[in-house]
Structures are given as structure tokens and as C-alpha cells.
Structure 1
Amino acid sequence: MIALDLTVFDSWKPILTALALPPVPLLLLILLGWGLSARRRLLGGMMVLLSCIAIWLACCTAVARVIERQVLRPPAPIAEETLAELKSGSGKQAKSHVAPSAAIVVLGGGRIPRAKELGTADLNSWSLQRLRYGIRLARETGLPIAFSGGIGWSQQSQAPADSQLSEAEIAARVAEDEFLKPLRWTETRSRDTRENAQRTVALLRADGVQQIVLVTHAWHMPRALRAFEQAAGGSLKITPAPLGFFVSEQAPELEWLPTLQGFTQVRLALRELLGSLVTR
């Protein structure tokens, strides 16, 4: 597979991604088919029909699950045996007052620049789910937590100071105030997954951490895991702890009907596939 290096277009990634994902390409195909129908009715009609079918499928939760399982192929949830080993290791280090050799790393998934009900910036649902799961793992294992997330490319703009808080800064506030579990490390400068990995690995390596328990959504884990393994270069052990797998929540036949949830999940899966292709 040909590797594409598009780092020069980083600031354009939000726009390019939106243009490459449904429904934009399919709507353009419908317009193209409509334009061709005046001269080549059969070809134009087939393009419109196939585009409409593709739009339908792009809104189905069943399609999202197929892409996640068969194409993205995220690792399985972290095993109980692994959690037991991590708990045993952290317990021994705590008794001997040795700095932790392992840490839980939660990746940011986005933020709300200014939540009206709070009057300040807040985590979005993806980030909050990841933080909650990371804190749960921390309580089970006794390991300290790092949160990695700055301000994404799509939100790089001039704005009031309180809305320019990084994801990690917001997460630190939420973790301490709402979950009563302070974070040990906050990486506040990364703008995407690649920078998450580079900056967090450097931060934890400097503190002697040798193993990272990586927390992010299942659909994001393959790309995140590869980025962290590349950044670590074999010097750290990366243990995936994915959450939020696409699961069946309704009757099988209903999963092939268009829904907002289906559209969101398909876009998430395709976005990760696209991200993997251009950063491999």
C-alpha cells in the first residue's frame, strides 16, 4: 500500500475530511448523475440510484459494525488477567515507594469550546466516556492517569481565554471535581492522534514509565495504537484498553434502516479508515 504523507496539509484536515466523508461525495455523484441523464439517461440514472443506495447504507448501524469488525479490527477489551497483573505491579511499587513503571493514558476525543450551561469549556461525550473508563481502570489497578489532548485543528482560532482551555486542562478539572480522581499528567499541546502519541510518550518516558495502558474508543484504537507504537519505538510496552464498541442495540432488521446513530457510527468508522490510509 502506498503511504501518503499529508502532514503539510494538517491545518486543512477538518475541511478535507468533511469533503471526503458521506454524504458529500455521494451528493456530488447524484448531481453528476443528474447532469449526465440528459445525454446518457441509463448511466446517469444508475449513478443516481447507486448513490441513493449508498446514502441509505451510510446511515445503517449494521454497516458501521461491519466496517469496525472486518476492516478496522480493533483489539479486544483489556483482559481481567492483564488488569490483575497491573494491579499486582502497582501494589508492589506503592509499598516500596518506587515511581510507577506503568500509567493509564486517556486520549482526548474533543471538547466543547464554551458550554452555555457551564459558562466555560467542557469535554464532549467522546472525551468524557474515555475519561470515565480510564478512571475506572485506575481505581481497579491503582495506576496513575495521564490525559492527552490539546485543541484540535478544527478549533484553532482566536477566542475568549476560557474557551481556549485544552482538552487535558478540562479533563483535569472534571476528574478532580466530579470523579474525585486527580490526574497525574496532562499533555495539553497535541492537535491530533499523531501528536498525542509523540508528546505523551516523551512526557511519560521522562518520568520512567515503561508501560502504557492506552484508553480510547474501539474505532479509534487501531490508528492510536499504531501511532503510540511508532512514537515509543519499542522502548515502551503499549497495552490497548478500548471502549465503546459498536454493538447491536435493536432487532437485526432495524439495523438496516437509516438512523442518526447509524450515520454517526459509519462516519466515525470511515474517518478512521481514511486516517489510517493517509498516516500509515
Structure 2
Amino acid sequence: MMTDWGLFKPVLTTLALPPVPFLLLILIGARLILPRRGLGYLVLMAGVVGIWMSTCQGTAVWLQDRFISPPPALRGESLARLEQLGRKSVRPMSGAAAPAAIVVLGGGREAVSQEYGTSDLSKFSAERLRYGIWLVRRTGLPLGFSGGVGWAQLSEKGASEADIAANVALKTYGVPIRWVEGESADTRGNAALTIAMLSEQRVPEIVLVTDAFHMPRALRDFEQAARRQADLRPGSLVIKVTPAPMGFWQHEDRALFDWMPSISGSIGVRLALKECLAALLKA
């Protein structure tokens, strides 16, 4: 049943997000103009304004700050604590558990990249991996990556996100990925499978890397998975999840441009509303 629902998620999400609802308002308003002129124009204009606002960077930042409310970036004392953990950690070949794991969540993949002729990471995944590797170099902690094939790409061929990331991390950055989870199809799957894997290896803390807009939902899922995993193994500790968000949306240099339609604004608003919808439905 969960698999069947998951297959419909991309379609239902698309129908619920801009511009579809506002296009529907425009059609309804146009239909109402003849029998109820005033109401028809009001509904039509609501649709037009909605489309405009749903493409503005200012709207994306407002939704991020007011509704998504991601935790702050990993800086200052929080980052210093991880650096200290890394300095105290022992070498992996000793067999001892790592004091913490930096875990990057996948954000999509290209089944076949036109440039490389093989599977590749999406821009979101690539940026998350780059930040995760920056944290690895800064702290000395080992790296993990969680990402399989999303619901919308189940029918496509190609490697999982995690396998692609392992290849990119090693060949492009010279950094090996110690934990690879490539079976999940969504954030809940990321959480359940990653927590189970790291719990088996007695890793006490996860430093979770994903985009700021995605972090509240990812953090919720990972913390819930950590508690469930601890319940399955009486006496074991609940894995601590430390958020390391990146890719925060910011205002344009000039305030006027915040309210001009843009590609980045359109993408940001859709992503923000998707997270708000997921939070409302607890999906």
C-alpha cells in the first residue's frame, strides 16, 4: 500500500503546487465573469496575483523564515564541538565506532547525464555533497550518503544516488564515502535505513546535511527513526541528530528584485510549499 501511494506522490504534488491552483482560479474567474462580473474578475485577479507572487524570491524567503523555520547553519560552538570530536576520533581500521557520522541526504539524480553519458547527481545532491565534504575536511569525521531512486524515477535505469555520490566524492574530491545507503525512495526511507545501518555500527551521532528548506522534515524523520531504532534494541542509546543545513534562500541585493518574477523564486516557492504541504499531511 505504501508503495502504491508513493508512486502517485509526484503527480499529486504537482497538481497541488503552483501554478496549477492559480491557473484553476483563472479559469473559474473567467467562467464567472458573465453571470457574476465582479466576483469573476476578483477570482481571476487572485489567480493572476498568485502566479506572480509564486515566482518571486521574496515569497520564497518569507515562506522559509515564517513557515519552514530551518535551524541555523552549523557554525561557532557547534562546529567547534565537531572539530574536537574529529580530533579525538580513532582510525577506522581499529574497529572502534566513529564518534559521529556526517550524513548527506540525496536530492535527486539524472538517470543519464548528457554531458557524461552516465548517471549523475542533480544540482541539489551535488551541492549537498560538496558541503558534506567541506565538513569532512573541517572536522575529520567520516562521511555517509543516503539516497536511492526517488518515486518519480523508479522506472528509469541507472545507479542509485548513493552509488553516484560515492563515485563523485572519490574521483572528484578524493574523499571516500564510508557509509552508502542506496535503497531509499524518500526522506522517511533515508532515515529508517540510515539509522538502522549506523546503529549496527554503534555510531552515536549523525550530522545531517541537506538543504535548509528540507531540514525540518528530514530532522523530524531522522529523530523519529532514531527513537524507533532504540526501542528495537533495549539498552541502546538514541542516536543524536545534529542538523547541518545549507543552501538558505536569501533576499536579492535590491528589494525591488525580490518581487520580480525569477527562476530561482519560482523554484524556491514550489519547494517551500511542498514542505509546508508535507508538514500539514505529516508525509
Q: TM-score range by the shorter chain?
A: over 0.9
Are 1:240 and 2:238 counterparts? no
20-29 or 7-16, larger mean C-alpha shift: 7-16
Match of 2:113 in 1: 115
Match of 2:280 in 1: 277
Opposite residue 118 of structure 2, the aligned amino acid is T
Match of 1:21 in 2: 17
Match of 1:81 in 2: 77
Match of 2:183 in 1: 189
Q: What is the deviation of 1:101?
A: 2.5
1:155-170 aligned at under 5 Å gives the runs 155-157=153-155, 159=156, 163-170=157-164
Match of 2:259 in 1: 256
Partner Cα distance (2:134, 2:173) in 1: 10
Match of 1:229 in 2: 223
The size of the alignment, in residue pairs, is 272
Are 1:216 and 2:214 counterparts? no
Opposite residue 131 of structure 2, the aligned amino acid is Y
Name stretches of at least 5 consecutive residues in structure 1 with no aligned partner.
none
Match of 1:126 in 2: 124
Partner Cα distance (2:186, 2:267) in 1: 20
The answer on whether the counterparts of 1:148 and 1:200 sit within 8 Å (CA) in structure 2 is yes
| 1:27-62 Cα shifts (integer Å, max 9, x gaps) | 011111111212111111110011101111101100
The answer on whether the counterparts of 2:24 and 2:47 sit within 8 Å (CA) in structure 1 is no
Q: What is the deviation of 1:126?
A: 0.2
Are 1:265 and 2:268 counterparts? yes
Q: What is the deviation of 1:253?
A: 1.2
1:32-47 aligned at under 5 Å gives the runs 32-47=28-43
Partner Cα distance (1:61, 1:89) in 2: 38
TM-score by length of 1: 0.93
Q: 2:65 aligns with which of 64, 69, 75?
A: 69
Opposite residue 221 of structure 1, the aligned amino acid is M
Partner Cα distance (1:80, 1:144) in 2: 20
TM-score by length of 2: 0.92
Partner Cα distance (1:87, 1:7) in 2: 40
The answer on whether the counterparts of 2:57 and 2:252 sit within 8 Å (CA) in structure 1 is no
Partner Cα distance (1:219, 1:155) in 2: 22
Q: What is the deviation of 1:90?
A: 2.6
Partner Cα distance (1:169, 1:7) in 2: 22
Match of 1:53 in 2: 49
| 1:164-192 Cα shifts (integer Å, max 9, x gaps) | 21000000000000010010011001101
Overall identity of the aligned pairs, in %:
48
CA 6–184 in structure 1, closer or farther in 2 if over 3 Å, else same: closer
SS in 2 for 1:15: helix
Q: What is the deviation of 1:238?
A: 0.5
Partner Cα distance (2:91, 2:162) in 1: 29
Q: What is the deviation of 1:8?
A: 5.6
RMSD: 1.7
The answer on whether the counterparts of 1:6 and 1:279 sit within 8 Å (CA) in structure 2 is no
SS in 2 for 1:178: helix
Match of 1:146 in 2: 144
Partner Cα distance (1:7, 1:247) in 2: 36
The answer on whether the counterparts of 1:151 and 1:164 sit within 8 Å (CA) in structure 2 is no
269-278 or 174-183, larger mean C-alpha shift: 269-278
Name stretches of at least 5 consecutive residues in structure 2 with no aligned partner.
231-237
CA 95–203 in structure 1, closer or farther in 2 if over 3 Å, else same: closer
The answer on whether the counterparts of 1:6 and 1:278 sit within 8 Å (CA) in structure 2 is no
Match of 2:234 in 1: none
Partner Cα distance (1:95, 1:246) in 2: 37
Partner Cα distance (1:182, 1:192) in 2: 24
Partner Cα distance (2:91, 2:213) in 1: 37
Partner Cα distance (1:95, 1:226) in 2: 31
SS in 1 for 2:101: strand
